[in-house]
Amino acid sequence: MNYTEIAREHLKAATEQLEIGADSALKYAALELRMAMEAITYDRAAAFKEEFPIEEYDTWQPRKVMAVLLEIDPMADKDSTIAFGLEEENGVPAKKMTSLGVETVLSMRVLKKHYDALGSFLHIPTIRRTKEGKKIDYSKLRKRGEEIRVYLDKVLSSPVFNSTLGAFSSIECMECGNKIRRRISQVENTINVECSNCVASYRVSYSRANQSIWEPMQKEIECANRGCRKKIVVWEKEIRQGANWTCPECKGKNSLVLGVVYE
């Protein structure tokens, strides 16, 4: 399925509806623009295919797909410039970089803003709004439609659209089994990653050899019963004032409290 082509077709249809100039054509333009945005979202997802639970995402709505895209790659909603160059010395970034252009991507923020705004024009006003005498603001809809048309045109004519350079790393969460995926940053050596499903968090570090190490962010805490001292392991996110547990050894109850130590 070529979603870029589908997006272009819907953008073309939207442009035709906008050019008619009649207010009555604007809702059809809005519908076509929304479909173009949906196609672009699925296109992005295809580029990250390996990172998706394919059997599930087949049935996902565009907004859900975009949310997952952002989870995998926090940079997915930002424009990025891609450049390459020859390394003269091993491991030292090249001095001369050739730019491949700027990739303009449909960001989640922009998507949400535009997609929702257009959605409200595709239904007749609610009973309350009609009672209040509110009418559809066609000049606002036209302005928004034009804005989105220009933006989508830029996205679809971007020279390096949908490139997914870089490596990915994923694990199954030790705590809940949820699959956690991250794009490996080209800039930082260590990132903190939180499971979206539970309290687990990990410190992920990697080398240029594309090896990543997922280190669970956990702490050992001893039972406060002097005669017991049984250790339990907790996630850093679980350490907070008032948290409590029953000791598996002596069955005593322990609570975490804020402490002051006199020095």
- Residue pointed to by tokens 């004519």: 157
Could you report how far apart the first and last alpha carbons of the chain are, in Å?
68
Residue 246 as a binder of Zn ion (CB under 5 A): the answer is no
Residue 36 as a binder of Zn ion (CB under 5 A): the answer is no
Per-residue interface string for the shown chain with Zn ion, residues 103-142, x marking contact by CB under 5 A: ----------------------------------------
Q: List the Cα angle 83/67/146 in 5-degree steps.
A: 75
**Binding flag, residue 193, Zn ion (CB under 5 A):** no
Instruction: Report which of 68, 25, 63 is spatially closest to residue 47, judged by C-alpha positions.
Output: 68
- The single residue among 126, 170, 178, 189 that binds Zn ion, judged by CB under 5 A, is 178
- Nearer to Zn ion by C-beta: 15 or 225? 225
| Cβ neighbours around 251 below 10 Å, total | 10
* 7 lies in the site for Zn ion, by CB under 5 A: no
CB 216 within 8 A of CB 235: yes
- Closer residue to Zn ion in complex, CB, 98/178: 178
228 vs 3: CA distance, rounded Å: 62
Q: Which stretch binds Zn ion (CB under 5 A): 56-64, 167-175, 182-190, 238-246?
A: 167-175
Q: How far is the CB of 223 from Zn ion (least distance, A)?
A: 3
Q: How far is the CB of 224 from Zn ion (least distance, A)?
A: 8
Beta bridge pairs of residue 222? 231
Residue closer to Zn ion (CB basis): 108 or 199: 199
Closest CA to 8 of 29, 37, 28, 31: 37
Q: What is the DSSP string of 160-200?
A: TTT---S-EEEEE-TTT--EEEEEPPSS-SEEEEE-SSSS-
196 in contact with Zn ion (CB under 5 A): no
* CB 228, min distance to Zn ion, A: 3
Q: Is 230 near Zn ion (CB under 5 A)? A: yes
CA 98 to chain centre: 28
CB of 144 to Zn ion, least distance (A): 39
User: Judged by CB under 5 A, which of 97, 102, 176, 233 binds Zn ion?
Assistant: 176
Query: What are the beta bridge partners of residue 219?
Result: 234
175 is an interface residue for Zn ion by CB under 5 A: yes
> Restricting to residues 56-95, which ones interact with Zn ion according to CB under 5 A?
none
Nearer to Zn ion, 208 or 240 (CB): 240
Q: Are 249 and 239 in contact (CB under 8 A)?
A: no
**Binding interface with Zn ion (CB under 5 A):** 173, 175-176, 178, 195, 197-198, 200, 223, 225, 228, 230, 247, 249-250
